[in-house]
Amino acid sequence: MANVKNVRGMQHINEHAEFVASQPQPAPNAGDAPREAGVSSLLEYDPQYILQVRDLKKHFPIKDGMLSRVTGYVKAVDGVTFNLKRGTTMGLVGESGCGKTTTGRTILRLNGDKTAGDVLFNGKEVYDLTKKELHDARTKMQIIFQDPFSSLSPRMPVGEIIGEAVREHNLVPKAEFNDYIDDIMDKCGLQSFHKDRYPHEFSGGQRQRICIARALALNPEFVVCDEPVSALDVSIQAQIINLLEELQEQFGLTYLFISHDLSVVEHISDTVGVMYLGNLVEYGDTDDIFRNPLHPYTKALFSAIPVPDPTVKMKRIVLEGSIPSPANPPEGCKFHTRCANCMEKCKHEAPVQKEIEPGHYVVCHLYDDAAEVSK
Partner 1 sequence: MAKKKETGYLSAKESRRIAKANRKITDEFEKKYKRKNVPESEYLTEMHDKSNVLEIDDLHTYFFTDVGTSKAVDGVSFEVPQGKTVGVVGESGCGKSVTSLSVMQLLQRPQGQIVSGSIRLNLGDKAYDVTNTPIEVMQKLRGNFVSMVFQEPMTSLNPVFRIGDQIDEVIELHEGQHMTKEEIKARSIEMLELVGIANSEGVYKMYPHELSGGMRQRVMIAIALACSPRLIIADEPTTALDVTIQAQILDLFRSLKDRINSSIMIITHDLGVIAEMADYVVVMYAGRVVEKGTAEEIFAHPAHPYTIGLMASKPVVGKKVDKLYSIPGKVPNPINMPDYCYFRDRCEMKCGPECDGEYPHEISLSPTHKVSCYRFYGQQVSDGKGGEQ
Region 33-62 residues binding partner 1, contact defined as CB under 8 A: none
Give the interface segment with partner 1, choosing from 28-36, 81-89, 131-139, 227-235 (CB under 8 A).
Answer: 227-235
Give the interface segment with partner 1, choosing from 79-87, 135-143, 150-158, 255-263 (CB under 8 A).
Answer: 255-263
Give the interface segment with partner 1, choosing from 61-69, 111-119, 150-158, 306-314 (CB under 8 A).
Answer: 306-314
Instruction: Figure out which of the listed residues 70, 304, 340, 352 binds partner 1, where binding follows CB under 8 A.
Output: 304
Contact between 362 and partner 1 per CB under 8 A: no
Give the interface segment with partner 1, choosing from 35-43, 55-63, 298-306, 344-352 (CB under 8 A).
Answer: 298-306
Q: Which residue lies nearer to partner 1 by CB, 4 or 238?
A: 238
Instruction: Figure out which of the listed residues 63, 316, 347, 348 binds partner 1, where binding follows CB under 8 A.
Output: 316
Instruction: Figure out which of the listed residues 245, 270, 285, 357 binds partner 1, where binding follows CB under 8 A.
Output: 245
Contact between 341 and partner 1 per CB under 8 A: no
Contact between 239 and partner 1 per CB under 8 A: yes
Residue 181 CA to residue 214 CA, distance in Å, equals 9
Q: Which residue lies nearer to partner 1 by CB, 2 or 234?
A: 234
Are 165 and 211 in contact by the 8 Å Cβ rule? The answer is: no
Q: Which residue lies nearer to partner 1 by CB, 130 or 298?
A: 298
Burial track 317-336 (b if 16+ CB lie within 10 A, e otherwise): eebeeebbebeebeebbbbb
Contact between 315 and partner 1 per CB under 8 A: no
Give the interface segment with partner 1, choosing from 22-30, 121-129, 215-223, 229-237 (CB under 8 A).
Answer: 229-237
Region 147-206 residues binding partner 1, contact defined as CB under 8 A: 203
Q: Which residue lies nearer to partner 1 by CB, 126 or 268?
A: 268
Residues 82-111 as x/- pattern, contact with partner 1 by CB under 8 A: -------------xx---------------
Distance of closest approach, residue 234 Cβ to partner 1, in angstroms = 5
Contact between 68 and partner 1 per CB under 8 A: no
Q: Which residue lies nearer to partner 1 by CB, 38 or 205?
A: 205
Q: Mind spelling out the 3-state secondary structure of the chain?
A: CHHHHHHHHHHHHCCCCCHHHHCCCCCCCCCHHHHHHHHHCCCCCCCCEEEEEEEEEEEEEEEECCCCEEEEEEEEEEEEEEEEECCCEEEEECCCCCCHHHHHHHHCCCCCCCCEEEEEECCEEHHHCCHHHHHHHCCCEEEECCCCCCCCCCCCCHHHHHHHHHHHCCCCCHHHHHHHHHHHHHHCCCCHHHHHCCHHHCCHHHHHHHHHHHHHCCCCCEEEEECCCCCCCHHHHHHHHHHHHHHHHHHCCEEEEECCCHHHHHHHCCEEEEEECCEEEEEEEHHHHHHCCCCHHHHHHHHCCCCCCCCCCCCCCCCCCCCCCCCCCCCCCCCCCCCCCCCCHHHCCCCCEEEEECCEEEECHHHHHHHHHHC
Rule CB under 8 A: which residues touch partner 1?
Answer: 95-96, 203, 233-239, 241-242, 245, 260, 262-264, 266-267, 290, 300-312, 316, 318-319, 321-323
